[in-house]
Amino acid sequence: MKNSLPEELKGIVYESVLLLGSIIKEQYGADCYDQIERIRLSFKHVRDLSPEKLHEVLGHSYVELSNVSEERLTKIAHVNALMLELVNCCESAYRVVTIKKKPVTVKPTDQQIIFVLTSHPTEARSKNFLLLVEKITDALVRGFEYDFSSIKDELKFLLSLALSVEITKHLKPTIRDEFSEIYQRLLSKKMLDKQIELYEKGVEVSFRTWSGGDKDGHPGVGSAEMLSSLQGSRLQILNYIKHIFESYKNDLTLIDQAKKINLALVSLVSEMDLLRKIEKGDGIKITRLRKKFNTFLLLVKSNNLYSPELTKIKSILWLYPALVMPLEIREDSEVVTLSLSDKKQNIARMLLELKKISQGFDPKWYVRGFIVSMCQTPGALSDGISLVKKCLGSYSLPVIPLFENEQGMRESLNILDYNFKKHGLIVEHSTRWNNKYEVMVGYSDSSKENGVLPARLQLENAIKKIDSFISSHELRPVFFHGSGGSISRGGGSTKEQIAWWPISSLSVFKMTVQGESIQRNLGHPQLLESAVLKITDEFHNFSTRNTTYSKSLELFAGHTKKSYNTLVNDKSFHALVSAATPYQFLDQLKLGSRPDKRNSPDSFSLRAIPWILCWTQTRILLPVWWGVGSSWSGLSNEDKQSIKSDFSTSPLLASYLKHLGFTLEKIRISVWHFLIEKSNLADSEKMRWIEVFYEELKLTENFFHEVSGGKDHLWFRPWLKESIYFRSSMIHPLNVIQKIALEKSYQSLLRTTVAGISSGMLTTG
């Protein structure tokens, strides 16, 4: 393995893991420590050996651990999960320190950056464990800045706590759990300071959230939860402002001439206190506070007592006009239609509640959009617009179609054209929303439906047509990308994610950020700044994307889609998924407040995120590559040559190849072989599926190397290859223990293994 990781990073990982080992021996005893170490070394020794050797060691480990008590298995799983999280902390800390050392130039831009946050599924980890992870990362930052010895005692204490704290929750998270995690992290003083700093330097970064607004298929979301979520962010923001006022008031005690200003400040704080509970007419109070604050600024300026800290409050009032993190609300198109005649439906109640609280102010500062999911017909979007008009009294909230599957993307222009004409949307959006018209595009369901490559091509084609259609009506297209952390959900590095997007997707950059991505990319002021500057750099350096490609690529994608569809619609494949993945036990994982499965007569109706989680946990990552290899092998030489040319000219195909390389590097077919082998399928079925997967993966490897020109999987990011190489063997024991937990219905242990494997794979799904 070529040394690509910085020696400084490898050194602190080594020291940290060594320290953890000493704590394990102290707390768990020498016997438990020796077993954990023996298992670790057995998997470490097969890192460079064949898949057959790894499969053999997995089998031996399974035999050994099957006879171990649940208590001991829980300790072993906890240690391995913590060790992987510790490695992640080391990498995050190193990134923070590296970013701090770089000279940062923030270029002012008219680009708008919007992150729409959703806590699922990181909230499956306990609040106390997440708090410790944050403290461990902060300590490691200081370890890099000074030396490891300076933090050794503190780190030992924190790791001792982490070894005793439950990693996951035993109860299903509530909506409050979800939004509390987001608000505590993103609306903390240090994060708000960084958001304001970026804004004052000319880069506007906005945060919104799904939590409390995403009604789509969620029985736990209604008007009360919406109000509770808004209330949660309101209190965080008010506390931030109040802290500034208190500091300013203390400064004024140094002089005698500030009595009038102090009285005005007391009155202003009293006005703020009236906002601590959001209720009917909240908009009137917000308007009154804003006017009072502007009067207060005139007073302090006239007395030459203006503090730069007060500028932060001006920025907050721009970034959060209603002093809340605005929600995005969403509902399924069928329920939207039903709500027109049934006001008891939760989505109608949410809109009616919005009207009550926003009275006296613009409702868009509480809720920025109403997304109609599974928008596949003109009537679906029309009903959404009619519902908003009925509940709010006017079209005072933009209704956003979500095109998330093949039918929706295919019908998108008909849907838009019909509604532009019927509802006069061109005039509405010109006068109300600064000429912007927003469309949301989904990644998860389209990938689940057809596989990643066919879904991406459908998506690129739809975006291109929608972009042209909206622009032809002299409106500015805004694309809300519903992507997530994993490749199957549209994730990956920023550069690869947006490589094929049009300029409209960058001028207003709007995308979802889910649980572990919040922690990894936005969990520290320096990480937020780095993420934002990568996006602004892409905007400043934008060059026109080539969105054309050969008929051969379309043919290839069509064959891939057919192969993928054939697999996922095969009843014997459903049996395999049930037998060899955590599919049947997802309701025990407590991953999020949303149900794991849709209400459907089809028993195989798993939602997109849990579906992808199954393939992450089993380390086979199926939606990214299935069907690619066999489809490639069936092409003519002429078609293959055309696709190789596309690789050089199509940003989308180049991006997919990089995502595929990352995926292939993380796949461990031996683990999947082991899981099938230990399933309750008939022996003949086991052998058939094992052979089918080995063959398809082999053909996919051929495709990757032939199209990329024989390059290494991660030629574009070699340090990542080494990172995956080291952490991969640390995940293996968790796969074995997870299989035992599934067999013996050890629910708590199962949750711990899911959290640990997710940490090791750098994504939950």
From CA 700, how far away is CA 763, in angstroms rounded? 22
When the pLDDT of each residue in the chain is averaged and rounded to a whole number, the result is 92
Phi/psi of residue 630, nearest 5 degrees? -65, -35
3-state per-residue secondary structure call for 293-320:
HHHHHHHHHHCCCCCHHHHHHHHHHHHC
What six digits make up the tokens of 247? 């500091």
From CA 197, how far away is CA 199, in angstroms rounded? 5
**What b/e readout covers 375-406, taking b as 16+ CB neighbours within 10 angstroms?**
bbbbbbbbbbbbbbeebbeebbbbbbbbbbbb
What is the DSSP track for 123-152? GGB-HHHHHHHHHHHHHHHHHHHS-GGGTH
The pLDDT, as a whole number, for residue 612 is: 79
Q: Which of 306-310, 378-382, 486-490, 667-671 has the lowest mean pLDDT?
A: 486-490
Q: Mean pLDDT, to the nearest integer, of 362-388?
A: 97
Closest CA to 387 of 443, 328, 453, 331: 331
The pLDDT, as a whole number, for residue 613 is: 81
pLDDT digits (tens, 9 = 90+) for 442-483: 988 888 889 999 999 999 999 999 999 999 999 999 999 988
Phi/psi of residue 168, nearest 5 degrees? -115, 170
Report the relative pairing of strands 399-403 and 508-514 from DSSP bridges. Answer: unpaired
Q: Tell me, what amino acid is at 612?
A: I
The pLDDT, as a whole number, for residue 490 is: 64
Closest CA to 500 of 283, 656, 697: 656
From CA 687, how far away is CA 655, in angstroms rounded? 34
What six digits make up the tokens of 34? 């020796």
Cβ proximity of 55 and 670 under 8 Å = yes
Q: How far is CA 5 from CA 90, 640, 719, 729, 758, in A?
A: 12, 35, 5, 17, 22
The pLDDT, as a whole number, for residue 202 is: 95
What six digits make up the tokens of 345? 């439906």
- Classified as helix, coil or strand, 509 is strand
Q: Which of 81-90, 125-134, 252-261, 317-326 has the lowest mean pLDDT?
A: 252-261
Kindly tell me if the per-residue pLDDT of 542 is higher than 60.
yes
Please name every residue paired with 482 in a beta bridge, in sequence order, or none if there are none. Answer: 442
- Segment of 236-240, 246-250, 761-765 carrying the highest mean pLDDT: 236-240
From CA 734, how far away is CA 77, in angstroms rounded? 6
Measured torsion, CA atoms of residues 416, 418, 423, 425, in degrees rounded to the nearest 10: 30
- Classified as helix, coil or strand, 114 is strand
What six digits make up the tokens of 587? 């309701």
Kindly tell me if the per-residue pLDDT of 148 is higher than 90.
yes
Q: Provide the CA 518 distance to its chain's centre, in angstroms.
A: 6
Kindly tell me if the per-residue pLDDT of 487 is higher than 80.
no
Kindly tell me if the per-residue pLDDT of 129 is higher than 70.
yes
- Classified as helix, coil or strand, 222 is coil
Confidence of residue 122 (pLDDT cuts 50, 70, 90): very low
Degrees, nearest 5: CA angle 517-519-525: 115
Half-sphere exposure at residue 120, Cβ-oriented, CA atoms within 13 angstroms: 26
Cβ proximity of 403 and 462 under 8 Å = yes
- H helix and E strand count, the chain: 34, 8
From CA 572, how far away is CA 349, in angstroms rounded? 43
Please tell me the pTM assigned to this model.
0.93
Helix (H) or strand (E) holding 441: strand 436-442
Which residues have a Cβ under 8 Å from the Cβ of 63 and sit 6 or more positions away?
Answer: none
From CA 555, how far away is CA 549, in angstroms rounded? 11
Q: How far is CA 577 from CA 213, 664, 676, in A?
A: 32, 20, 9
Count Cβ atoms below 10 Å from residue 24 Cβ, excluding itself: 24
Kindly tell me if the per-residue pLDDT of 493 is higher than 90.
no
pLDDT digits (tens, 9 = 90+) for 60-95: 999 999 999 999 999 999 999 999 999 999 999 999
What six digits make up the tokens of 720? 């990542």
The pLDDT, as a whole number, for residue 123 is: 46
The pLDDT, as a whole number, for residue 591 is: 59
Cβ proximity of 355 and 235 under 8 Å = no
What six digits make up the tokens of 606? 């798993």
- 608: exposed, middle or buried (C-beta count within 10 Å: 0-12, 13-18, 19+)? buried
Phi/psi of residue 327, nearest 5 degrees? -95, 155
Q: Tell me, what amino acid is at 664?
A: L
Q: Mean pLDDT, to the nearest integer, of 663-675?
A: 97
From CA 451, how far away is CA 557, in angstroms rounded? 9
Confidence of residue 514 (pLDDT cuts 50, 70, 90): confident
Length in residues, the chain: 765
Cβ proximity of 366 and 403 under 8 Å = no
Confidence of residue 599 (pLDDT cuts 50, 70, 90): low
From CA 508, how far away is CA 205, in angstroms rounded? 10
Closest CA to 626 of 487, 491, 501: 487
| Helices marked H in 187-281 | 189-200, 223-252, 259-273
What six digits make up the tokens of 68? 């171990």
Q: Which has more pLDDT, 644 or 601?
A: 644
Q: Which of 211-225, 375-389, 556-570 has the lowest mean pLDDT?
A: 211-225
Q: Which has more pLDDT, 487 or 624?
A: 624
